[in-house]
Chains A and B, each alone.
Chain A
Amino acid sequence: MRKQYKLVSCTINGKQVEKMVDVRASLTDMLRDDYRLTSVKKGCEVGECGACNVLINGECFNSCIYLAVWAQGKEILTLEGLSGPNGELSDIQQAFIDEAAVQCGFCSPGFIMSAAEILEAGREFSDDEIRKLMSGHLCRCTGYENIFRAVKKTMLRRLGKEKEAEEV
Chain B
Amino acid sequence: MYDIKALYEAESVEHAVRLLTEHPEAQIIAGGSDVLVQMREGKRAGKELVSIYMIDEMRGVSYEEDETIRIGSLTSFSHITKDPIIQKHIRVLGEAVDMVGGPQIRNIGTIGGNTCNGVTSADSASTLFAWDAQVELTGPEGVRRLPIQEFYIKAGVVDLRPGELQTAILIPKKCYEGYAGHYIKYAMREAMDIATTGCSVNVKLSEDKKMVEDVRIAYGVAGPVPMRASLAEETLRGKPVSPAAVKEFAETVLEDIRPRDSWRASKAFRQHIAVVLAERACKESIRRAGGEINA
A residues near B (Cβ < 8 Å) are: 1, 4, 22-26, 29, 45-48, 50, 53, 59-62, 65-67, 69-70, 72, 114, 132-137
Contact = CB atoms under 8 A, between A and B. Distances in A.
Contacts of A25: 1-2
A23 B32 contact: no
Interface string B261-273: 0000000000000
Grouping DSSP codes into helix (H, G, I), strand (E, B) and loop, the B interface class, with mixed when no group exceeds half, is mixed
Given A24-B3, A70-B54, A136-B101, 5 more contacts: A26-B1, A29-B1, A53-B104, A70-B51, A136-B104
A62 B4 contact: no
Contacts of B36: 26, 46-47, 65, 67
Nearest to A52: B104
B102 A136 contact: yes
B5 A135 contact: no
B33 A47 contact: yes
Interface residues of B, number: 29
A59 B33 contact: no
In this complex, the member of A50, A62, A69, A137 whose beta carbon has the largest number of chain B beta carbons within 10 angstroms is A62
A60 B53 contact: no
B187 interface: no
Interface of B: 1-7, 9, 29, 32-33, 36-37, 40-41, 51, 53-54, 78, 101-105, 107-108, 190-192
Nearest to B106: A136
Contacts of A59: 78, 107
A4 B105 contact: no
B257 to A, nearest CB: 30
A72 B78 contact: no
A61 B108 contact: yes
Contacts of B3: 24
19 contacts: A22-B1, A23-B4, A23-B6, A24-B7, A46-B37, A47-B33, A47-B37, A47-B101, A61-B107, A62-B104, A62-B105, A65-B108, A69-B51, A72-B54, A132-B103, A135-B102, A135-B191, A135-B192, A136-B104
Contacts of A22: 1
A123 B283 CA distance: 33
Contacts of B101: 47, 136
A24 B191 contact: no
B104 A47 contact: yes
B103 A136 contact: yes
A72 B54 CA distance: 9
Contact of A69 (B7, B104, B190): B7
Contacts of B40: 45-46
